[in-house]
Structures are given as C-alpha cells and as structure tokens.
Amino acid sequence: MNNLIYVPNPLLRQKALEIESVGKEEINLAKKMMQIMIEAPGVGLAANQIGVLKQIVTIFFIDNETKKETKYTLYNPKILSYSNETIVMEEGCLSLPEQFAEIERPKNISLQYLNEKNQIIKKNVKGVESRILQHEIDHLSGKLFVDYLSSLKRNIMIKKVKKYLREK
C-alpha cells in the first residue's frame, strides 16, 4: 500500500505524467488513492502525494449547505478557464499535516478530464469543489498551496512539518 508523502519529498515538486489511456492499473490506483484520502481524512488527493507521477486526482467531500456527497476520480485533468472573481478560503494539505493558510483562488473554473471509460468530460465547477480541484491539479504540476504564500510563511510551515514528522 502506498503511503502519503510529505514535504520536503522531491516527488511533490515533480510534474505528473499524462495517462495515455485509463486502464485497470490506473483504476486500481485511483481506488487505493480514494481509500487513503478518506482514511486520512482529506477531501482531495493527487497521485504525486503517494509517490506516483501520474495525472490522477480523487475528490470526496460533502457540501455543507446541500449535504450532497461528491466523489469521483479525474484522469489528466486540465483547467480550461478561471473566473475573474476570486475568493479567499483556508486550505490545508495531507502532505503538509496540521498546516493551514488563507489562500486566494478563482471562485469558479471550467475543466476537462478523462473518466474511467476514457471519455472526455467537460464541466464548470464552483464553490468548495472548485477549490479542491484547483489545489489537487496544482499538485500534478508540482505546486503546493504554500507556494501562494510569502517565502517566510512557506518556510515556517515546511519547518513545522519537518518537526511534526520527527515527533510522530
């Protein structure tokens, strides 16, 4: 079973590779990712976070307002457009345990991805789902939410993670 990896692991800074075609191996990996993410617990997970450089993202969350459960996997996700309107929300990351920061991101996005049947799905996403997907798709290009912070704040958080992992 692959485990979560933490900063400063260099795999978190590498670009994930595009998947030529979604097959049994990718589907099984996504199921494993979903399990790791839910047990952690988290709302999103990129394959890089378990040391696999493939463009796979899983998300699972319950909308606070509608109580609707959203759970799916995206293969080769790409953001096609961002709204001009932005929103600031607190973010955390399974690869930076116990670290949180207010991050400004576009409120809505339009994206496309492959599903398990290799069909191209295009959708417009807003709210928490948009936030989670932007965060996870950033992972696929080696970007972490702390990269939106000043270098001072980023370095403090990374030091806290290193200390947390030593004490764990």
- The yes-or-no answer on residue 20 being catalytic is no
Q: Which residues are within 8 A (CB) of 8 and not within 5 positions of it... i.e. 6 or more apart?
A: 158, 162
| 131's tokens | 């936030």
Set 18, 26, 136, 167: catalytic member: 136
Q: What residues have CB less than 8 Å from 111, skipping those under 6 apart?
A: 74, 77, 78, 79, 80, 122, 123, 125, 133, 137
Residues designated as active site: 136
